[in-house]
Structure 1
Amino acid sequence: MVYAVVRAGGRQEKVEVGSVLVVDRIAADKDGKIELAPVLLVDGDTITHDAKSLAKVKVTAEVLGDLRGPKIVIQKYKNKTGYKKRQGHRSELTRVKITGIK
């Protein structure tokens, strides 16, 4: 079983070939292909974690689409002063499918 831990959007994700994950917005090339930076590679009993060996490893992915995360409402209130503030936020996300670990 081959899997890798990749750095994607400020987090680390465990991925295998064919897995679909949602990461922070990533700009892809015109074909919709991206390359993710591996942090760890497990190939059966062999574990690779040093930077020299990982420089040879490529984790490729295909962008399935862009989406937005759930709305987060931020409410601030101070008692007896008349201060109220309301903000909203939605994260920009990208859904990707892992196509290869070489």
Structure 2
Amino acid sequence: MVFAVVRAGGRQEKVEVGTILTVDRLKANESDTVTFVPVLHVDGDTILAGSDLANVTVTGEVLNDLRGPKIVIQNYKNKTGYKRRMGFRADLTRVRITDITTK
């Protein structure tokens, strides 16, 4: 079993070949190839971390761009009549992991 933990959008995600990831918006078009920074690589009994990861590459293919669910933000201050309501939707990119290689 081969998998890797990659740094993607301020988070760490465990990925295998074929995993579909949703990350913060990437500056890439559909069907472009992107490379992720590995944090950990596990290949059976072999575990690579730290400076051993210089030879490990994790690549993926951009599937599409999308927007996350709407988050409603409300501010309210008691006894002053102040209230404010805003919404937010994150820009996301969906990526399929195509290859995890060790040189």
Q: What do residues 21-76 of structure 1 show as CA deviations (whole Å, max 9, x unaligned)?
A: 1011112268511000000000000000022x211111000000000000011011
Aligned residue in 2 for 1:9? 9
Matched positions, count: 101
Fraction of identical pairs, as percent: 66
Gaps of 5+ in 2: none
Equivalent residue, structure 2, for 1:88: 87
Contact 2:7–2:38 under 8 Å retained in 1 = yes
> Against the structure 1 CA distance between its residues 87 and 65, is the aligned structure 2 distance closer, same or farther, given a 3 Å change threshold?
same
Partner of 2:69: 70
- Give structure 1 stretches of 5+ with no counterpart: none
- The 1:65–1:29 alpha-carbon spacing in structure 2 relative to 1, beyond 3 Å, is closer
One-letter amino acid matched to 1:82: G
Where does residue 18 of structure 1 map in the other structure?
A: 18
- Cα distance in 1 for residues equivalent to 2:31 and 2:23: 19
Q: Which amino acid aligns with 1:69?
A: G
Alignment CA distance shift 1:79-1:73 (3 Å): same
Richer in strand (by share): 2
RMSD over aligned Cα atoms: 1.3
Equivalent position SS for 2:6: strand
- CA apart distance, 1:79: 1.9
Q: Is the partner of 1:74 in helix, strand or coil? A: strand
Change (3 A) 1:30 1:19: closer
